[in-house]
Amino acid sequence: MDELTSAFIEESREQLADMEAGLLDLERQPGDVSNLGAIFRAAHTIKGASGVVECEYVENFTHQVESVLDRLRDGRLGVSQALVTLLLRCVDHMNKLVQAFAEGLPTPAEALLAAGKELTAQLLGYDQDLSARGADAETRAVEKSGGGLVATDYWHISVRFNPGVLKNGMDPLSFLRYLVTLGDITGIETLDDAMPAGEEMDAECCYLGFEIRFQSRATKSEIEAVFAFVQDDCSLRILPPDSLVAEFVELINSLPEDSMRLGEILVRIGALTQAELDASLAQQAEAPCAAADQSSALPRIGEVLVEQGLVQPEVVDAAVERQAQVSQKKAAESRMLRVHADKLDSLIAMVGELVIAGASAQLLARGHGGEMLEATSILARLVENIRDSALQLRMVQIGETFSRFHRVVRDVSKELGKDIELVVRGGDTELDKSLVEKLGDPLMHLVRNGLDHGIEPADVRRARGKPARGTLSLDARHDSGNVVIQVRDDGGGLNRERIRAKALERGLIQPAQTLTDQEIVNLIFEAGFSTAHSVSNLSGRGVGMDVVKRNIQALRGTVEVASEEGEGCTFTIRLPLTLAIIDGFLVEVGRASYVIPLEAVVECMELRDVSARRDYLNLRGEVLPFIRLRHVFGIEEPVSARESVVVIQFAGQRAGLVVDRLMGEFQTVIKPLGGIFRRLKGIAGSTILGSGEVALILDVQSLVHICSEKQNGSPQDAARAYCAPQLS
């Protein structure tokens, strides 16, 4: 795939995503003219680009969509739910066509072609011949003029013929008669202010001028062309109807994002003719010569046009604003560079090796001290800056992932017959691109589950004293080095009795078994678990929550659920910012080394006066449970004479880890564990130390869970029960 084709595919997908978001906004705010213009420009850009890469099937279908959008933009069509639904289906079809082009197919598959024909037929139903709507056009003209008769919305033509026009064989009245072929002259005033005294008058000269009110749908250029043969023998000024000012502004906003001068913009939209522009530019060029003694600055062309009365100030201001917008966007685009994801992954990998090499050099420098240690410290600081900059390249805002769910909520809520609003917060929260890509499916499960199971139908909600419209919210924020994403609905919550009954039916729990409310709620994450009464295309097959949990855990994250019956349900996902490189805190137990993610470390202290059987300590009046890592991992070496406690925190819960030695902060590159160790509890990965030894990265969430277990026995016993079977 060449660079041009790749750029077309990527840009088309971005434009289609913008079109989808714009159409969803258009359904909520049908009167948003700027949004409609943006949708049209996106379709126009795709059509033009597909012509450049010679993809006819994308170009032809997009042309049909563009025609309907053009009629929407001109007010010839009204926004309706049915039309928005059709256009959204067209966006989906265009995505499939672009994908077919990306796969190198000369023509799409038969099924895709058939779907395109069906959509085209529906689009043609909205794109009727304009002649069938002549009456509607008149009505719109009345509305644009602010009400009253159409005849009051007229062009104003001011023409002053030169005295020698008759001698050159031109009859001024013939031009007025020809003007009538383009419309109706609703009023005319003959001006004789240039008429000289009788003794000075020449019978072969013309001294008259005319002020004409002209009703026509012709353009300014067409009206000017009437006087083309007498252009050098008259002074002509054509002022458009006031109703066209808003239309000119709208046309300016819908122009393609090309770099154009002010005059070119005004000519393009028909507010100015080329002859008027040329004359104004000539007048502008003469201005500094006339005012050379005063060192006057060259007047702006916009000021000249307004001063001459050729263009309304509002139109000039809109054109200037459009120029600024295009200029700013071009400047921003010139500072951006598209880089293939594989190149970024390769860069991150090399930076990771650089981190390891830097740690090795610093370890060796400790044995020499002095200048060598100072030099390696500077090197370590530079490596850290390079690492942070490299990781920042892969950070993207999660809002792009969130935005796709507007379409999901719209379609699913209509399918279910529910009125549901999606609220998005924290869309600017940044996350590693590799995480964002893998987060889409789990979030999709949670959103569809909330729409189907969570939010009740409108009549049920009203009976419970709730608003008829349900709310599903997506929230994202940073918290202690992690990204927290919450999917919350204001529905009926989880029915614990039904969950318990289903768990008993499937043998997940025993009848005599006592479970807390939270333990009952957590049963929804069991494989194949579902409380749905019937199977639908949305839910009921028992596939979803267990998949969500596995996928999130594969990203070194966690998912938790909290529910209050009758009030709603909240799923909370916690993920690390990146899967590549982290800041760690290095500790030792015996001869083994372990790395604790630095963002989870609260503080460190010496362990004093604690018996071997005691599993908690007093932390400034707070009870802090702790576990000894040597018990967790079965280390039989002698206990150090001086043990330390590392206080860690996860999701608001604190715990202590007892270790032999504290080695300090450590930049570490996460290496994935082999397949045989994937189910290992308490370990999140591994890394290579500067000495070449392997150190294990601790899973803070699992270790905090051990300490917070509400069961008989000490945390040490819980640790053995929790981790030992998986470590064998």
pLDDT at 720: 52
Range among 330-344, 409-423, 566-580 rated most confident:
409-423
pLDDT at 135: 37
CATH number of domain containing 84: 1.20.120.160
Range in 40-49, 99-108, 699-708 with the lowest mean pLDDT: 699-708
pLDDT at 508 over 60: yes
Range in 50-64, 353-367, 677-691, 711-725 with the lowest mean pLDDT: 711-725
Residue 37 or 2, more confident: 37
For residues 235 and 295, state if they share a domain. no
| Phi, psi (degrees; rounded to nearest 5) at 705 | -60, -40
For residues 284 and 430, state if they share a domain. no
State pLDDT tens for residues 439-489.
Answer: 888 899 899 888 988 899 999 999 989 999 999 999 998 876 678 999 999
Per-residue confidence at 100, pLDDT binned at 50, 70, 90? Answer: very high
For residues 558 and 428, state if they share a domain. yes
Amino acid type, 102 = A
For residues 448 and 557, state if they share a domain. yes
Domain boundary at 111, 128, 145, which? 128
pLDDT at 251: 64
Per-residue confidence at 16, pLDDT binned at 50, 70, 90? Answer: very high
pLDDT at 709: 66
Q: Can you read off the two tokens belonging to residue 10?
A: 């990527």
pLDDT at 597: 87
pLDDT at 678 over 70: no
* Element at 571 (helix H, strand E): strand 568-576
For residues 167 and 271, state if they share a domain. no
Domain boundary at 204, 224, 242, which? 242
Can you give the three-state secondary structure of 443-469, one letter per residue?
Answer: HHHHHHHHHHHHCCCHHHHHHCCCCCC
CA distance 229 to 530: 83
CATH number of domain containing 509: 3.30.565.10
Are the CB atoms for 248 and 236 separated by under 8 Å?
Answer: no
Q: What integer is the mean pLDDT of 156-178?
A: 86
For residues 235 and 258, state if they share a domain. no
Range in 89-103, 166-180, 331-345, 601-615 with the lowest mean pLDDT: 331-345
Per-residue confidence at 152, pLDDT binned at 50, 70, 90? Answer: very low
Q: Which of 483, 472, 490 is nearest to 427 (CA)?
A: 483
For residues 323 and 233, state if they share a domain. no
User: How many structural domains comprise the chain?
Assistant: 6
Q: Are strands 592-597 and 622-628 parallel, antiparallel or unpaired?
A: unpaired
Q: Please tell me whether residue 687 adopts helix, strand or coil conformation.
A: strand
For residues 334 and 451, state if they share a domain. no
pLDDT at 61: 93
pLDDT at 246: 64
Are the CB atoms for 72 and 102 separated by under 8 Å?
Answer: no
Range among 248-257, 530-539, 698-707 rated most confident:
698-707
Amino acid type, 27 = E
Amino acid type, 401 = T
For residues 553 and 416, state if they share a domain. yes
pLDDT at 150: 32
Q: What integer is the mean pLDDT of 192-206?
A: 84
Per-residue confidence at 112, pLDDT binned at 50, 70, 90? Answer: very high
For residues 208 and 305, state if they share a domain. no
CA distance 609 to 595: 26
Helices (H), 526-681: 545-554, 629-632
For residues 550 and 588, state if they share a domain. no
Helix 244-253 / helix 134-144 crossing angle, nearest 10 deg: 100
pLDDT at 437: 82
Are the CB atoms for 584 and 646 separated by under 8 Å?
Answer: no
pLDDT at 137: 40
State pLDDT tens for residues 517-536.
Answer: 888 888 888 876 766 555 55
Q: Can you read off the two tokens belonging to residue 23?
A: 């159409």
CA 663, distance to chain mean position in Å, is 43
Q: How buried is residue 474: exposed, middle or buried, by Cβ count under 10 Å (0-12/13-18/19+)? A: buried
Amino acid type, 637 = E
Q: What integer is the mean pLDDT of 501-511?
A: 85
Domain around 379: 341-394
Domain boundary at 394, 421, 439, which? 394
pLDDT at 470: 92
pLDDT at 728: 31
For residues 561 and 705, state if they share a domain. no
pLDDT at 89 over 90: yes
Q: Which of 278, 320, 285, 316 is nearest to 299 (CA)?
A: 285
CATH number of domain containing 183: 3.30.70.240
Range among 254-268, 551-565, 610-624 rated most confident:
551-565
Whose structure tokens read 């009245």? 173
Q: Which of 282, 275, 271 is nearest to 319 (CA)?
A: 271
State pLDDT tens for residues 568-625.
Answer: 999 999 887 766 677 889 999 988 999 998 888 999 998 876 666 678 888 888 888 9
